Structure 1
Amino acid sequence: MTSNMETPDHQLEEQSNLNVETANNNKSKIQSYVKRRLPILTWLPGYHVSWLFQDVLAGITVGLTAVPQGIAYGVVAGLKPSYGLYSSFMSSFIYIFFGSCKNITIGPTAIMSLMVEPLVSKYGPEMAVLICFLKGCIIGLFGIFHLGFLLDFISLPVITGFTTAASINIATSQLKSLLGISGKSEDLVGSMDEGLPHISFPPFSMNDSKNQSITYGFTDMIQNMGITLFTIPVISTIEHMAIAKAFASGKSLDATQEMLALGICNVFGSFVSSMPVTGSFTRTAVNHSSGVRTPLGGIFTGGLVLLAAGFLTQTFQFIPKATLAGLIISAMYYMLDFQIFKLFWTAKKIDFFIMLMTLVTCIFAGLEKGIVFGIIMNLIILLSFTVKPSIKISIEKINEKTVVYVTPEETVTYPAAEKLRANIMKLSEDSTGNVILDCKNLKRIDVTVVKNMNLLANDLKLRNLQFIFINSKNNVTHVFNTIAPEIKSSFNQQINF
């Protein structure tokens, strides 16, 4: 009787413990997720005071690099030099909270400046600020929906051709200033906006820079951006992720978090008149070589840029453009990787050809069209390998019997299904032997291929020949048994050589 009375209480206690354990697990998962999305919560509690000196030194060193580069890239973008400074400080602050790689510094870069320049020259600086905001939103969505894998379709030869073309375009655009050739531009940087930028929403409408009576709404501005609205986020993410991987110091890289961090940096930057920003290879290398310990170094980089923007703008206007041109051209030289050209040519000439065609198209047709052309050309070549997979077909003798022996050397997919069937059928017509398909290299198979193999089996059966499958993996056998159960008996027969 007592035992029966105690049972409900015991069950209630177990249920209560289970609820507490579930609640603790959920709390732990939430805390883990928050720490993953706010990496500062991971490294800040364990911060050592002894690291502060190295972070301060690295931050100031990067800041001293960021100031002249910011001014120079503002000029490349067709903006006032002050826009380059505005683009350099906000991302330094934001990345402290959301960045997962201690070495990365985010700010204006030569490629981003060059890509935004046509929009600025045609419509005005508002376009640069708005595309910074929209780019941040797009990259943020890339991260949220884990779409970073799409960037894997852009090969190294295409990226190399693009960056090389961008470097050449930027360097040649500075020759006029470097040589002091007279023209519309001055010998000096000229006037700059004084003080710090006003915090405001990015411009969702604007007046035409050449005709103030023409007003562009938000939809008009997006239409005017054209393909640049998509190429800038893609190129920016590629540039940033490549740098992050290079300076990850052997640690695993959270690609999703890096995309979120980059997106947030651009969104917040647009509120202080920033042009599009991404990871900077030059400044990241300086940060790394200066011995930075944590992302906290960014606060000193951003602080130094703020001081420069607030108090030194009157001094900067006397910087000769020839000096900035020399700075830009020297930076572009180090973006040219001559060694990789040689590697492409030596290792695989088709990759060298793709790189060269992307390079030429980017120079003569524009960066956006050039990279799209390179991607399409690369995908066509990739598809050609899919349509024509490597398949070894030979006539051999097994146990004194002649057979047609077929060995796919890689996975066969639907574009190659009909061609595979036709090749086997053609060779079998010249032979009276059975056909053996060695499936040892088939990791997977699709319905179209199975259907074609079933048709081939029926054709061979009419000629009193067998179609035998050997070394088939379980997942391949399962698809065959589901789609063509009538040839189930042909699988994995013992063949004695």
Structure 2
Amino acid sequence: LYAMEDSVLISRPAYSNSAFKQTYERIDKTNLDVCTRLKRWFRLQMHCSFWGILVNFLPVLGWLPKYKKKYVVGDLIAGWTVGIIRIPQGMAYALLAGVQPVYGLYSCFFPVLLWFVFSTSKHTSVGTMAVVCLMIQNLVDKYIPDVTTAVNGTKFEKIQVASSATLLVGIMQLLMAMLRLGFLTTLLSDPVIQGFTTGSAFHVMMSQLKYMFGLAKSVGKHSGPFALFKTLGDILTNLYHANPADIIICVISVPTLIIVKYLNDRYKKRLKNIPIPIELMLVVVATLISYFCHLDDPPYNVNIVKTIPTGWVGDLVDNYVFPSFSTPTYLHIWPEVVSDCLIMAFISVAISLSLTKIYSDKHGYDIDANQEILALAVCNTIPAFLSSFAVAASLSRTAIQESTGGETQLVAVLSSILMLVVLLWLAPLFQPVPKSLLACIIIVAMKSLFMQFSNLKELWTVSKLDFAIWILTCTSVVTLGVDLGLAVGVGAAIAALIYRIQNPKHAVMGRIMYTDLYADKKKYKDAHEIPGIKIFQYADSISFTNKDAFRNTLYKAI
């Protein structure tokens, strides 16, 4: 006999399907003709006022008038904390994107202000993001040799290629928002995204090693399959040419960053959720040493940031030559970058939406997925004319914004004020920053992506198929490159989806002795079939895609 502490006794009438319909009246909607249904639909739509439509398009008009005073302190602390972190990260990620550091500062200013206006997320921090910057670098390195043709008397530069691609990314995301195609990001399942971002982290690390060893001029540009291994080969071949000064900077910076970040996590409560801004502190110290010791001159020969212009937005617009839509050379380039930009658009949307969903669920508020896509589209489209490159939600800055008490989107404006001060007056002070230090900041920031390997153990126990997708995606990204690797990952996810539709879980159920419980008789020895009755469980709806599989499994079970 079984000792059961809790028991459930269910007593109800037994119904056939026809008897149930006769006993309980069903709501019949078939009596309504098409015209009546259309009238009802239009009547519901007419209830939406102009103000309601405007608030849906510009969410800031809805939440800002309801702003509460109790949010001020948390938003101020979070805004200034995130703003301080944006300065070194902006310069570092611009280096990763293959453009001058000042453009990273622009990308941490203009898109952030637009995000404040258009986003429904209270905690997401948008701006430069490692994976997106890596994809921009791959695109720039791939197409920069082909875009040296004169256009309107000027040459294409790296930032112009990056901004042109960013505009295309923004237009693609705008179309996604208009057509409400946010559901397509479900093809990028968690195993695909995690495998992709982890594999991308290896590319990010490899792209920065040349700066850490002072080998930027010795390492060639490689793209396509096995580019990572070719870059590694160049680094190892030229390792005896490494710059000792850059190596010393890295030997000091990397352990310092790791230790302080560990202390920030461990003593978060004692620090009142305000992390020590170690990145900015290192940048300031390294800048002072570089300036007074002239590290860019012999015998040190450290590669530094050099010129960072300052000025008002108008200066940026006047100095920025954006290619005309009517220029044949520009039309020749855009079709070539369509595939790269499409991948970038989907990846940035998928990562941003997943991050936004995590924090909205945690704090119990709703977000509009298509509005978030629109916000991201605006953040990429308009700043493309202002020397910015593609942006997305940042995992590290979002976590800091939430943990330091940020309550609303006002954090974006407060952090942008600090960035504006830097752009207008303080930017030249960062000219002596060693690029090797920025490379260290990037590589240490990849820790969270590499830590995704720890998810594999749990993934193996939950779903071996998802485990295989994770490994395949990560391996493909490392070996074949970011674009082809993602294509392999998405293809594997689609194949797995088809396999699951064709082969859903099924079982012949047996009754557990002395209970009214039923379980798979192959898994439980106390589950026995009722004589003369077969209970077949099929864990999926039956459609034309799996009808044959259903029939075959049913016949085998019987």
Choose from 443, 464, 488 the match for 1:349. 464
CA distance in structure 1 between the partners assigned to 2:66 and 2:211 by the alignment: 49
Tell me the amino acid that sits aligned with residue 187 of structure 1.
V
Conservation of the 8 A alpha-carbon contact between 1:189 and 1:321: yes
Conservation of the 8 A alpha-carbon contact between 1:84 and 1:108: yes
Aligned residue for 2:410? Answer: 296
Q: CA deviation at 1:73?
A: 0.6
Tell me: CA distance 1:53–1:406, structure 2 relative to 1, closer, same or farther (3 Å).
Answer: closer
- Superposition pairs of residues 375-390 of structure 1, within 5 angstroms: 375-390=490-505
Tell me the amino acid that sits aligned with residue 205 of structure 2.
A
Q: CA deviation at 1:262?
A: 0.9
CA distance in structure 2 between the partners assigned to 1:131 and 1:137 by the alignment: 10
Aligned residue for 1:268? Answer: 382
CA distance in structure 2 between the partners assigned to 1:425 and 1:290 by the alignment: 60
Q: CA deviation at 1:366?
A: 0.8
1:308 aligns with 2:422: yes
Choose from 328, 334, 348 the match for 1:222. 334
RMSD of the TM alignment (CA)? 3.1
Conservation of the 8 A alpha-carbon contact between 1:161 and 1:356: yes
CA distance in structure 2 between the partners assigned to 1:289 and 1:251 by the alignment: 17
Aligned residue for 2:125? Answer: 105
Over residues 417-453 of structure 1, what are the superposed CA-to-partner deviations in whole Å (9 max), with x where a residue is unaligned?
Answer: 345456667899xxxxxxxxxxxxxxxxxxxxxxxxx
Aligned residue for 1:78? Answer: 98
Tell me the amino acid that sits aligned with residue 375 of structure 1.
V
Q: CA deviation at 1:57?
A: 2.7
Tell me: CA distance 1:414–1:23, structure 2 relative to 1, closer, same or farther (3 Å).
Answer: closer
Tell me: CA distance 1:226–1:346, structure 2 relative to 1, closer, same or farther (3 Å).
Answer: same
Q: CA deviation at 1:413?
A: 2.3
Q: CA deviation at 1:255?
A: 0.8
CA distance in structure 2 between the partners assigned to 1:100 and 1:405 by the alignment: 48
CA distance in structure 1 between the partners assigned to 2:539 and 2:405 by the alignment: 49
1:68 aligns with 2:88: yes
Tell me the amino acid that sits aligned with residue 358 of structure 2.
A
1:190 aligns with 2:305: yes
Conservation of the 8 A alpha-carbon contact between 1:362 and 1:369: yes
Tell me: CA distance 1:385–1:317, structure 2 relative to 1, closer, same or farther (3 Å).
Answer: same
- Superposition pairs of residues 92-171 of structure 1, within 5 angstroms: 92-121=112-141, 122-123=143-144, 124-171=158-205
Conservation of the 8 A alpha-carbon contact between 1:101 and 1:295: yes
Identity of aligned residues (%): 28
Conservation of the 8 A alpha-carbon contact between 1:87 and 1:108: yes
Tell me: CA distance 1:25–1:143, structure 2 relative to 1, closer, same or farther (3 Å).
Answer: closer
CA distance in structure 2 between the partners assigned to 1:179 and 1:148 by the alignment: 42
- TM-score, normalized by length of structure 1? 0.73
Over residues 126-178 of structure 1, what are the superposed CA-to-partner deviations in whole Å (9 max), with x where a residue is unaligned?
Answer: 12101211211221222222111111122111111101011121122222322
Tell me: CA distance 1:23–1:420, structure 2 relative to 1, closer, same or farther (3 Å).
Answer: closer
CA distance in structure 2 between the partners assigned to 1:202 and 1:33 by the alignment: 36
CA distance in structure 2 between the partners assigned to 1:389 and 1:242 by the alignment: 27
CA distance in structure 2 between the partners assigned to 1:48 and 1:107 by the alignment: 26
Conservation of the 8 A alpha-carbon contact between 1:202 and 1:273: no
Conservation of the 8 A alpha-carbon contact between 1:386 and 1:413: no
Over residues 340-388 of structure 1, what are the superposed CA-to-partner deviations in whole Å (9 max), with x where a residue is unaligned?
Answer: 1221122222211111110011011111111111111121122122223
Conservation of the 8 A alpha-carbon contact between 2:214 and 2:303: no
Bigger-Rg structure (1/2) = 1
CA distance in structure 2 between the partners assigned to 1:404 and 1:25 by the alignment: 51
Over residues 35-77 of structure 1, what are the superposed CA-to-partner deviations in whole Å (9 max), with x where a residue is unaligned?
Answer: 2222211222122445334323322211111111010011001
- TM-score, normalized by length of structure 2? 0.65
Aligned residue for 2:4? Answer: none
Aligned residue for 2:348? Answer: 236
Tell me: CA distance 1:71–1:410, structure 2 relative to 1, closer, same or farther (3 Å).
Answer: same
Aligned residue for 2:57? Answer: 37
Tell me the amino acid that sits aligned with residue 460 of structure 2.
W
Q: CA deviation at 1:291?
A: 1.5
Contiguous gaps of at least 5 residues in structure 2: 1-41, 145-157, 220-300, 510-528
Tell me the amino acid that sits aligned with residue 372 of structure 1.
A
CA distance in structure 2 between the partners assigned to 1:303 and 1:265 by the alignment: 17
Tell me the amino acid that sits aligned with residue 181 of structure 2.
L
Q: CA deviation at 1:320?
A: 1.0
Conservation of the 8 A alpha-carbon contact between 2:91 and 2:101: yes
Over residues 7-49 of structure 1, what are the superposed CA-to-partner deviations in whole Å (9 max), with x where a residue is unaligned?
Answer: xxxxxxxxxxxxxxx9999465332232222221122212244
1:417 aligns with 2:451: no
Tell me the amino acid that sits aligned with residue 411 of structure 1.
S
CA distance in structure 1 between the partners assigned to 2:535 and 2:48 by the alignment: 57
CA distance in structure 1 between the partners assigned to 2:185 and 2:464 by the alignment: 23
Conservation of the 8 A alpha-carbon contact between 1:393 and 1:424: no
Aligned residue for 2:442? Answer: 328
Conservation of the 8 A alpha-carbon contact between 2:83 and 2:414: yes
Number of matched residues?
397
Contiguous gaps of at least 5 residues in structure 1: 1-21, 207-214, 429-497
Choose from 245, 256, 260 the match for 2:357. 245
CA distance in structure 2 between the partners assigned to 1:155 and 1:333 by the alignment: 22
Tell me the amino acid that sits aligned with residue 386 of structure 1.
I
Over residues 258-316 of structure 1, what are the superposed CA-to-partner deviations in whole Å (9 max), with x where a residue is unaligned?
Answer: 11111111112112111001111122222222222321222221122122122233222
